[in-house]
Amino acid sequence: MNKTLITVALGSVLAWGTAAQAQLTTVSKIVVVDLNRAFNEFYKTKSAQERLKETADGFNKEHEQMMADYRKQVEDLNKLREEQDKPELAAEVREQKKKEVQEKLADTQKLQREIEDYRRTHAKMLEDQTQRMRQTILKEITDIIHKEARDRGYNLVLDKSGNTLNGVPAVVYHLESLDITEDILKILNKDKPAAVETPKPAGTK
């Protein structure tokens, strides 16, 4: 009787131990990654940001030229108005000046509308390009994470750089050994061209 009870008890302990070990193994397959860091330190991000900056600089240069033309138009308009108001002008000349003022005003207002349209259109273009760039790079990063998770048998990968709706970190605590960010960055940057410098983490010199 006692021998039977001991055998049953021992079997229960062993079964519990096996279940606990299995549960521990499952938990250990949960890892974290810093997606913000992966994005910022991926060499393709820097290259894309440089291209976006070149595009933005081109837009700004053209916008500045349009603004210079507009300021010149306003200056010419003000001069015409001053000439129009000179008391010594003959009535016929004054009427001609008024006509010139109206024409110059129409041209100035047209240019102002063109500048506003240009600013709005190109700001939207730049915003769309930035969004497409970000989505493309993030997809490449997440594809790498998915492959790494499958290859290594991870059950769950959490983004530790995100926050909840309450504004608190999505991952409150984790062991450093569970962070695979460095592994992901090594994969992402393994084909980095020699001329491209990997962006440094924020706060480093």
User: 9 in a domain, yes or no?
Assistant: no
pTM here is 0.70
User: 19 in a domain, yes or no?
Assistant: no
**pLDDT digits 0-9 by tens, 32-70:** 999 999 999 999 999 999 999 999 999 999 999 999 999
Note down the domain range covering 109.
Answer: 30-188
User: 14 in a domain, yes or no?
Assistant: no
What is the per-residue pLDDT for 93? 81
**85 secondary structure, DSSP code:** T
User: 74 in a domain, yes or no?
Assistant: yes
Alpha-carbon Rg for the chain, nearest whole angstrom, is 34
The residue ranges of the chain whose pLDDT is under 70 are 1-28, 195-205
User: 168 in a domain, yes or no?
Assistant: yes
User: 23 in a domain, yes or no?
Assistant: no
User: 11 in a domain, yes or no?
Assistant: no
The domain total for the chain is 1
Asked whether the beta carbons of 52 and 198 are under 8 A apart, the reply is no
What is the per-residue pLDDT for 197? 58
What is the per-residue pLDDT for 200? 62
User: 5 in a domain, yes or no?
Assistant: no
What is the per-residue pLDDT for 167? 81
